[in-house]
Amino acid sequence: MIERHVFEATINRLNEFYAEAEEGSCGTYCEGCIGCITAYLIYMCSETHYEKTLRKISKFVASQNERIYNAKGLQLIDPTYRGLRVIEITIFDRPGRT
């Protein structure tokens, strides 16, 4: 069983990452302008701020699984695989448990 505060900390951190991905800054606006000027060809050479943040989210979910969830027989599925709509948790079968 996962303690409530541990699960809440995971969810809160994910929400912080998503807020970071969506926030507008001078850099993200310049990124958009450069994309328009280059007919979006720049994105073949570099990742957007949003894509970089999604990669950080994937690494965070993987580390949480290794450190916390897998040891408890659970696996947190990366929300980017589910269209950022749901938090899915898989329960591993453990032979010998009743």
> What pTM did the predictor assign?
0.81
The full set of domain ranges for the chain reads: 4-91
Q: What is the pLDDT of residues 46-87, one digit of tens each?
A: 999 999 999 999 999 999 999 999 999 999 999 888 887 788
Strands 74-77 and 88-91: antiparallel
Q: CA–CA separation, 16 vs 9, rounded Å?
A: 10
Average pLDDT for residues 1-16, to the nearest whole number?
A: 93
pLDDT at 39: 87
How many other β-carbons are positioned within 10 Å of the β-carbon of residue 43?
A: 13
> What's the average model confidence in pLDDT over 22-40?
89
Residue 69: closest CA among 45, 53, 92: 92
